[in-house]
Amino acid sequence: MTITKGVDLEIVEYLYSAEKERREVVKVTDRYPELSFSDAYSIQDKLIQRREQDGSRKIGLKLGLTSRAKQQMMGVHEAIYGYLTDDMLALEWEHLDFTQFIHPKAEPEIAFFIDKDLEGTNVTAEDVLEVTKFVAPAIEIIDSRYLNFKFTLADVIADNCSSSKFLIGSKWMSPRDLDLGQLGMVMSKNGQVVQTGSSAAVLGHPATSVAWAVNKLGEVGKGIQKGDVILSGAVSEAIAFEPNDNVLVHFAELGSVSFTCKSST
């Protein structure tokens, strides 16, 4: 079935209400198995517009499926992107409220702070570095609205790539002042190491990931803008967390970012 205008708005409300009410729903493709990637990105755009109607402000992008191994596992050949809004930004010194989530997971990321507009379809990693004022350690909290975190690629695109919250560490550096393509990472939960990795896992270099996003946006006449924050993609597998858990991500040279989760604030 082709996704018509009425149907796409129905899907938007379906996903938006699931997020607002913090409840799991069956994936969209159970009802609309022919949902295409282009349909899914269109729904994602309308989902963000719906958030903006309620007062949210778009402030950047997040990348997903930036690991070659994960792409092969999913049977796809490219990454995916979603949007960040201002109400997704969480602060290190404030406890995360677990009741705001359905089944959250934490991913280690590197955040890019964009200082100049960038648009096109032949953008390179070097172009991205030229417009990046700072990079910083970050954690993304992903929280799919789908039952048991199970979905197809089209489903997750439509659901804004499971975006929920993100945190940024206090150490910001020029990307020219460190080897951004070979940063070691250690993620700990409650003092125990649970994941290790390297920034090279993000399409070989995090700036390559951001360049892919700019080029993908360029295909539909969009780009990234001065002031945007870009989460370049997970450096390792995501980890689940529960109330009273503390999660710490440390990048060599770039420093740390952490959060503590409580059952309520």
| pLDDT per residue as tens digits for the range 147-177 | 999 899 999 999 999 999 999 999 999 999 9
Residue 2's pLDDT is what? 58
Joined together, the tokens standing for residue 263 give 């059952």
Helix (H, G, I), strand (E, B) or coil at 63: strand
DSSP H stretches of helix in the chain: 5-21, 37-53, 68-74, 125-131, 153-158, 206-218
Which among 89, 125, 261 has a CA at the least distance from the CA of 200?
125
The overall pTM is greater than 0.85: yes
Strands of 55-104 (E only): list them.
58-64, 80-85, 96-97
Joined together, the tokens standing for residue 153 give 């690629």
pLDDT band at 256 (very low <50, low <70, confident <90, very high): very high
Q: Can you say whether residue 93 is alpha, beta or left, with left for phi > 0 and alpha for psi between -120 and 50 degrees?
A: alpha
Alpha-carbon distance 83 to 44, whole Å? 9
Alpha-carbon distance 55 to 49, whole Å? 10
pLDDT value at 14 more than 90: yes
pLDDT band at 72 (very low <50, low <70, confident <90, very high): low
Topology of domain 5-262 in CATH is: Fumarylacetoacetate hydrolase; domain 2 (3.90.850)
Q: What is the pLDDT of residues 99-149, one digit of tens each?
A: 999 999 999 999 999 999 999 999 999 999 999 999 999 999 999 999 999
Report the greatest alpha carbon distance in the chain.
51
- DSSP β-ladder status, 80-85 and 58-64: antiparallel
pLDDT band at 65 (very low <50, low <70, confident <90, very high): confident
